[in-house]
Chain A
């Protein structure tokens, strides 16, 4: 079955450390997105990509970086510049940017220790 795989499910980061969250999809979707969710809040957009080798900043891109070298993959790096990274990170995709709903991965829960 097609879907989005996020790994790891849980991640612990030490102060000053960069960590990378994986997102892989086999839905043949062009557009991919990274959102962050804090407790009791909605989703906030970090980065998005409409096509391979192209990506754009979302509303809260500071302290994060991404790459899109393959259609299937859109990894997110949380850098040491992100001062409050503890959150639930969600990767999503949609078949194109014409206004369709998302398919989400199962998420990565990141905690700073």
Chain B
């Protein structure tokens, strides 16, 4: 079992819809959770971080964390074609030297 698992995708949504990306993790000691966006051929960019159970909103993005279910998700409201990218979920176990473990990513396509 991988430490961090994401929906394999690809995920396709129409412009203006809500895109929902999911991630599960295996280590209950995990304390820090991140979503990165990676455009094709480019490096990842941090878009959301979440540390406690519940929702965290930043503009059109909402991260949701449920530590009991070992589940973290990213919702993108009013999806735009510019949101088309691969989204990487990353997890840090405790203060494990700040080392992040990444999922394989979910590729999102937003169709105009």
Contact = CB atoms under 8 A, between A and B. Distances in A.
B104 A41 contact: yes
B95 A99 contact: yes
A54 to B, nearest CB: 11
Interface in A38-93: 40-45, 48, 50, 56, 58, 90
B31 interface: yes
A20 interface: no
Nearest to B35: A101
Interface stretch (B42-50, B53-61, B73-81): B42-50
> Contact residue range for chain A?
20 to 34
B99 A106 contact: no
Contacts of B94: 99
Contacts, number: 71
A40 B104 contact: yes
Interface of A: 31, 33, 35, 40-45, 48, 50, 56, 58, 90, 94, 96-107
Contacts of A99: 31-32, 51, 92, 94-95, 98
Contact of A42 (B4, B32, B49): B4
A107 B41 CA distance: 9
B97 interface: yes
Contacts of B105: 41-42
Interface in B58-108: 88, 90, 92, 94-105
B22 to A, nearest CB: 15
